[in-house]
A = this chain, B = another copy of it.
Amino acid sequence: MNDFDLVLPAAVDVREVGMRDGLQLEDPLPLADKLAMLEAIVATGVRRVEVTSFVSPKAVPALADADQVAAELHRFPGVHFSALVANPRGAVRAVDAGVPHLEYVVSAADSHSRANAGRGTAEALAAVGEIAALAHGAGGSLEVVVATAWDCPFDGRTPLTRTVDVARAAVTGGADALCLGDTIGTTTPGRVVRLLDAVRRACPGTPVGVHFHDTRGTGQANALAAVQAGVTQLDASVGGLGGCPFAPGASGNIATEELVWWLADAEVDTGIELAAVLAAAAVTERAVGHPLPSSLYRAGGAPVPRGPVRPS
């Protein structure tokens, strides 16, 4: 017999990223649809929402309306909104739009950094200080998202020491928090725990969150491992928005409803109501016009439905 029990934090703070990571590869939505989606997301009880990116509208047409979205955020008091930026120019735009809490992406893998941001990791890191100053000057905060923290679509496995070095440099540069991004959805529980341990040792006192894609079936297992390791900051998107089950390599974030569901069963508080997330997923599905990948949502959402009989 093995007297094992899951030891989990009392509460987990989910950041809803469907509005940003979820929508960025979709066809652009009308502002009204986006705001209906945001309204439904806020109604879930989620406390943090990454609401858009201030990036080139040519690169990400779906988020070209970042300023218009930002102008509506006053309607949702009490929610911690943040936005992703790719450089100091984006940080200026975000701050000017009244969104001073920023996520800045630095790819640990050089090839991904060049493909995604047009410059290598070192150059991307060099901008952390300027972006941090812009955020802090506006009363905001800066989280550096270390993309390709585990694997890169071009370079393969990212050496653990490389990710740790990037994380340390980001904190030295002025980041208030870190987020480890499993950009292509390849990491697994064992690797999650190993990297978290190494990054926390290198950056004591800095909160470290995680950002998983459920591309290879282990998204919630990775989340479980991270939460067991004491992580309380997790990204997720309603309906697992961000991918299509039929497009290899383009799968979405871990689904908010799946995360909230098993956390609730384990008595971890998220402040998020499952039924409201499923409702938000339905709003989102109508808005994007295609099925969402979340298994829980596709199964009808009900944890214990009346269903077909099967032997076992």
Contact = CB atoms under 8 A, between A and B. Distances in A.
B5 A295 contact: no
B310 A5 contact: no
Interface residues of A, number: 87
A112 B310 CA distance: 9
A245 B296 CA distance: 11
A299 B4 contact: no
B147 A258 contact: no
Contacts of A298: 245-246, 248
Contacts of A299: 185, 215-216, 248-249, 251
Can you tell how many copies of this chain the complex includes? 2
Interface stretch (A40-48, A197-205, A281-289): A197-205
Interface string A199-238: 0110010000001001111111101110011100000000
Contact of A189 (B229, B266, B306): B266
Contacts of A248: 298-300, 305, 307
Given A6-B189, A193-B4, A266-B189, A307 B218 contact: no
Contacts of A154: 306
A21 interface: yes
Which 5 residue pairs are nearest across A and B when measured between Cβ atoms? A2-B230, A190-B266, A249-B307, A188-B262, A217-B258
Interface of A: 1-6, 8, 21, 24-25, 53, 55, 60, 84, 86, 105, 112, 115-116, 145, 147, 151-154, 156-157, 181, 183-186, 188-191, 193, 197, 200-201, 204, 211, 214-221, 223-225, 228-230, 240, 245-246, 248-251, 254-255, 258, 261-262, 265-267, 294-296, 298-300, 303-312
28 contacts: A1-B200, A1-B201, A4-B197, A5-B193, A6-B193, A105-B312, A115-B309, A116-B309, A116-B310, A152-B304, A153-B307, A153-B308, A154-B306, A156-B304, A188-B262, A189-B224, A190-B265, A211-B312, A215-B295, A215-B299, A217-B240, A217-B296, A218-B258, A218-B261, A218-B262, A220-B220, A248-B305, A250-B310
